Amino acid sequence: MSRTALLTDHQWARIESLMPSSDGSAGRPFRDHRSILEGIIYRFRAGIPWRDLPENFGPWQTVWKRHRRFSCDGTWDKIHSRLLAEADAVGMID
C-alpha cells in the first residue's frame, strides 16, 4: 500500500455502491469517488489543512466540497450504518 492509496480493493467494494451518482445533474460529472475519498481519509489521518492536500487527490477544493456534500446528503451516515451492520452480523459488536 502506498502513502496515498489508502483503501484496499475489498474496502472500496464494501462502500462503492453507497456513493451518490452525478447522473442527471447539471454540470460536470463527479471526479472518481475513490480518489476523492482517499483524499479525505489522507487529510484526516495527516491532520493537515485542506489546502495542503497532495495534488494526486485532485484539487483540494473538490475534495472539500465532496466531503461537505457527503455530510449534508447522508452519504457518511449510510457508510457508517453499513459498516456497523456488517460488524454486528459477524459478532464484532457487543
- Residue given cell 456534500 in the structure block: 69
Q: What percent of the chain has pLDDT over 70?
A: 91
94 compared with 16, residue with greater pLDDT? 16
Q: What is the pLDDT of residues 56-74, one digit of tens each?
A: 999 999 999 999 999 999 9
Residue 30 falls in which region: left (phi positive, over 0), alpha (psi -120 to 50) or beta: beta
